[in-house]
C-alpha cells in the first residue's frame, strides 16, 4: 500500500517540468491526481504516465489566473473522485525586467499567476474543506489534508531583475503561514517549498545571443538563462549542479506525506546547500 492511497491531489502546472514530476511522485504513492496545464497536450501526456504508474487522473486545463479557475479545479476533483486532500500550487512562469523597465502588465501578470491564483484556489478549496471535516468529525474520523505552495529563493533572498516574481513568491510565504494558523483546526498543514536553480525548460541554458520564448496569454515571454550564468551558479552551489525536476518533486512529497503531519507553516529551501 502507498502512503497516499485514497487521497486526491490537485497539482497545478502539472503538464510538464516540476509539476509533472510532483504529480507522478504523488501518483506512485497511491494518490489520484487532478492534472492541470494551460495546454491540453502536456496534460494528456501526464495523465498517460500516471495511468502507467497504476493510478487515476483527470485533467482540468486552462489558465490558473482565470477568475473562475479555483472553483472549477476543486469542483473537478470532488465530482470526479469524491474528495480533495492535497493542493499543490505550482503553476507559473517568469517575466523578468529591472523595475525601471517593468510595465504594469508585467507586474500584474506575474502577481496574478503566482499569488492571486493560489489565493483563489485555496479559497475555493475551503468551500469543500469545512463541510468535509464536519462530516469526518461526526463520524469520529481525523483526516489530515495538505497544502503545498511553491515559492522560490527569489522570494526568500530577492533576485535582481525579478521584483514582480520575488514579491509574489514572498507573498506565498505569508499566505502559507497565515493559512497554517487559520486551517490548523481543520487538520490541514500548509507549507511552502522555495526552489533554487532547478533544471527545467524555463531555466534551460541559452547559447550566446539566443533567445527562447514561450507564449502566455497571447504574449511572447522570454525564457532561459545564459550558459555562463548557469556555470557560475553551479560553481556556487555546494552540490555542484542545479537540481532535477524529480529531486524538486521529492521535496514537495515530504510535505504531502503522513510523515509531515505535525509540520505546518514552514518554508523548505531547496537549493543544493547554497
Q: Is residue 145 part of a domain?
A: yes
* pLDDT score at 231: 72
* pLDDT score at 200: 83
Q: Is residue 18 part of a domain?
A: yes
Q: Is residue 104 part of a domain?
A: yes
Q: What is the pTM of this model?
A: 0.92
- Catalytic positions, written as ranges: 165
Q: Residue 263: CA atoms inside 13 Å, Cβ hemisphere, count?
A: 16
Domain count, the chain: 1
* pLDDT score at 270: 98
How confident is the chain (274 residues) per 10-residue block, as mean pLDDT? 95 98 98 98 98 98 98 98 98 96 98 98 98 98 98 97 98 98 98 95 60 64 65 87 97 98 98 94
Q: What is the CATH number of the domain that holds 191?
A: 3.40.50.720
* pLDDT score at 218: 67
* pLDDT score at 219: 66
Q: Is residue 163 part of a domain?
A: yes
Q: Which residues contact 130 (CB under 8 A, 6 or more apart)?
A: 186
Q: Is residue 56 part of a domain?
A: yes
* pLDDT score at 27: 98
Q: Is residue 215 part of a domain?
A: no
Q: Could you tell me the residue range of the domain that residue 257 belongs to?
A: 8-198+244-270
| Pair type for strands 57-59 and 86-89 | unpaired
Q: Is residue 213 part of a domain?
A: no
Amino acid at each position: 500500500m502507498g502512503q497516499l492511497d485514497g487521497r486526491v491531489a490537485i497539482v497545478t502546472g502539472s503538464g510538464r517540468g516540476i509539476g509533472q514530476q510532483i504529480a507522478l511522485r504523488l501518483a506512485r504513492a497511491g494518490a489520484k491526481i487532478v492534472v492541470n496545464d494551460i495546454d491540453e497536450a502536456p496534460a494528456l501526456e501526464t495523465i498517460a504516465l500516471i495511468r502507467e504508474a497504476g493510478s487515476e487522473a483527470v485533467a482540468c486545463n486552462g489558465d490558473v489566473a482565470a477568475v473562475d479557475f479555483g472553483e472549477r479545479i476543486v469542483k473537478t476533483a470532488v465530482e470526479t473522485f469524491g474528495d480533495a486532500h492535497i493542493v499543490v500550487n505550482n503553476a507559473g512562469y517568469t517575466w523578468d525586467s529591472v523595475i525601471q523597465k517593468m510595465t504594469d502588465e508585467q507586474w500584474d501578470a506575474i502577481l496574478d499567476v503566482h499569488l492571486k491564483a493560489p489565493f483563489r484556489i485555496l479559497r475555493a478549496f475551503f468551500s469543500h474543506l469545512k463541510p468535509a471535516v464536519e462530516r469526518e468529525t461526526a463520524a469520529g474520523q481525523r483526516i489530515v489534508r495538505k497544502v503545498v505552495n511553491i515559492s522560490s529563493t527569489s522570494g526568500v533572498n530577492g533576485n535582481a531583475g525579478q521584483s514582480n516574481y520575488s514579491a509574489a513568491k514572498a507573498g506565498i510565504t505569508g499566505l502559507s503561514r497565515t493559512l497554517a494558523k487559520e486551517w490548523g483546526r481543520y487538520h490541514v498543514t500548509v507549507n511552502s517549498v522555495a526552489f533554487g536553480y532547478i533544471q527545467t525548460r524555463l531555466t534551460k541554458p541559452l547559447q550566446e545571443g539566443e533567445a527562447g520564448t514561450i507564449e502566455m496569454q497571447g504574449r511572447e515571454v522570454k525564457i532561459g538563462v545564459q550558459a555562463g550564468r548557469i556555470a557560475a551558479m553551479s560553481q556556487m552551489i555546494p552540490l555542484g549542479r542545479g537540481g532535477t525536476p524529480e529531486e524538486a518533486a521529492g521535496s514537495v512529497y515530504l510535505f504531502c506525506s503522513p510523515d509531515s503531519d505535525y509540520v505546518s507553516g514552514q518554508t523548505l529551501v531547496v537549493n543544493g546547500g547554497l
